[in-house]
């Protein structure tokens, strides 16, 4: 049992950024006198996650959701900023505290078949983290594998089978069992149901919610499916071109979205609870992330854009239980369509 400070978030992300160098080869750049080209996949993201909570990140493809997931588990290094898990920096993942810290956070990937070794039997797949992070005997490992398979609704006899012998939903349950093997506190779930049939998604999501209650787990849940997010999340963060533009409690965000981009996303799905919310049509497509617009990157598509939006990047402001980065919200502008 860890000594936790009361009221202190389990996960703290402060001004996290991850840039990728996508420049042309060195000689080509020198001859053409071209500067380096940087893709700012994540650019100044901050949020916290409390123990036992599910924070969901949503947004269109390419907004940086999966990059944040990989930053949190140490698969990508930070370009700048800081990420802490219960007060310990993830930079320690490669240091002396790495093994103990890695046991506390695990990841569930999008495609369960791609993330499971097809040459290994299920028992070996689930036991691998136990071999790497514990001193359990083979008998203890075997008993733990049986326990984990039961927890995710599978039979202990399944440990002798290969991943291809299972359905997609069953494979994702195996991925969950593997992630839970070393009893982590924090799970990063990168679109864990998007590769599954709709009929199977609810089963997997319900298993995850039951496990969260039983084991006191904390989730970062990444998805582009707002109906799924409404089912699992306590709070929701909305991302656009590498930044969080709005973050709020789930019910508040779905009932009273403040950022124009959030309203656009919600307008793209059926009205979940019959609120009769007006549609917010927004033209255009996501800009090229290699050459993002100045100021607020959403301004070319925003019906409430003003000259200030083109010149200055909005900073998050708190309005009630919502944090939103939008000049229009901050200055209480209304568009002609709202009037």
Torsion of CA 201, 204, 208, 213, to 10 degrees: 100
Give me the percent of the chain exceeding a pLDDT of 70: 92
Span 149-199, pLDDT tens digits: 999 999 999 999 999 999 999 999 999 999 999 999 999 999 998 888 888
For residue 294, count CB atoms less than 10 angstroms from its CB and return exposed for 0-12, middle for 13-18, buried for 19 or more.
Answer: exposed
The sign of the torsion formed by the CA atoms of 32, 36, 41, 45 equals negative
Span 46-59, pLDDT tens digits: 999 999 999 999 99
Span 307-321, pLDDT tens digits: 999 999 999 999 988
Strands 80-85 and 186-190: unpaired
Domain boundaries, the chain: 251-339
Spatial CA neighbour of 115 closest among 73, 87, 156, 79: 73
The DSSP bridge partners found for residue 56 are 221, 236
For residue 49, count CB atoms less than 10 angstroms from its CB and return exposed for 0-12, middle for 13-18, buried for 19 or more.
Answer: buried
Spatial CA neighbour of 257 closest among 216, 229, 285: 229
Whether pLDDT at 323 is above 50? yes
Whether pLDDT at 279 is above 90? no
What string of DSSP letters covers 80-135?
A: EEEEEETTEEGGGGGSTTHHHHHTTEEEE-S-TTTTS-TTS-HHHHHHHHHHHH--
Whether pLDDT at 339 is above 60? no
Query: pTM of this prediction?
Result: 0.89
d(CA 190, CA 85): 18
């Amino acid at each position: 049992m860890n000594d936790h400070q009361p009221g202190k978030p389990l996960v703290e992300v402060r001004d996290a950024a991850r840039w990728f160098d996508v420049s042309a080869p060195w000689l080509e750049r020198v001859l053409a006198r071209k500067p380096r080209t940087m893709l700012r996949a994540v650019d100044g993201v901050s949020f916290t996650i409390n123990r036992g909570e599910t924070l969901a990140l949503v947004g269109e493809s390419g907004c940086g959701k999966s990059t944040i997931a990989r930053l949190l588990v140490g698969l990508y290094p930070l370009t700048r900023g800081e990420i802490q898990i219960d007060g310990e920096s993830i930079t320690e993942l490669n240091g002396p505290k790495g093994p103990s810290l890695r046991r506390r956070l695990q990841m569930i990937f999008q495609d369960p078949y791609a993330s499971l070794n097809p040459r290994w039997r299920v028992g070996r797949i689930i036991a691998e983290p136990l071999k790497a992070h514990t001193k359990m005997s083979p008998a203890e490992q075997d008993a733990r594998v049986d326990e984990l398979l039961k927890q995710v609704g599978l039979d202990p006899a399944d440990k002798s089978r290969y991943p291809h012998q299972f359905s997609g939903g069953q494979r994702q349950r195996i991925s969950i069992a593997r992630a839970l093997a070393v009893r982590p506190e924090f799970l990063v779930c990168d679109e864990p149901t998007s590769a599954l049939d709709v009929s199977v998604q609810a089963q997997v999501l319900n298993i995850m919610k039951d496990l969260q209650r039983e084991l006191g787990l904390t989730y970062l849940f990444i998805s582009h499916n707002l109906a799924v997010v409404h089912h699992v999340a306590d709070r929701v963060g909305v991302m656009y071109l590498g930044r969080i533009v709005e973050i709020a409690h789930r019910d508040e965000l779905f009932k009273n979205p403040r950022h124009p981009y959030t309203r656009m996303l919600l307008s793209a799905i059926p009205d979940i609870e019959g609120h009769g919310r007006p549609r917010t049509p927004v033209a255009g497509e996501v800009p090229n992330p290699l050459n993002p617009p100045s100021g607020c990157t959403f301004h070319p598509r925003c019906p409430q854009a003003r000259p200030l939006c083109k010149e200055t990047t909005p900073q998050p402001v708190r309005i009630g239980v919502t944090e939103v980065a939008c000049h229009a919200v901050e200055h209480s502008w209304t568009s002609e369509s709202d009037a």
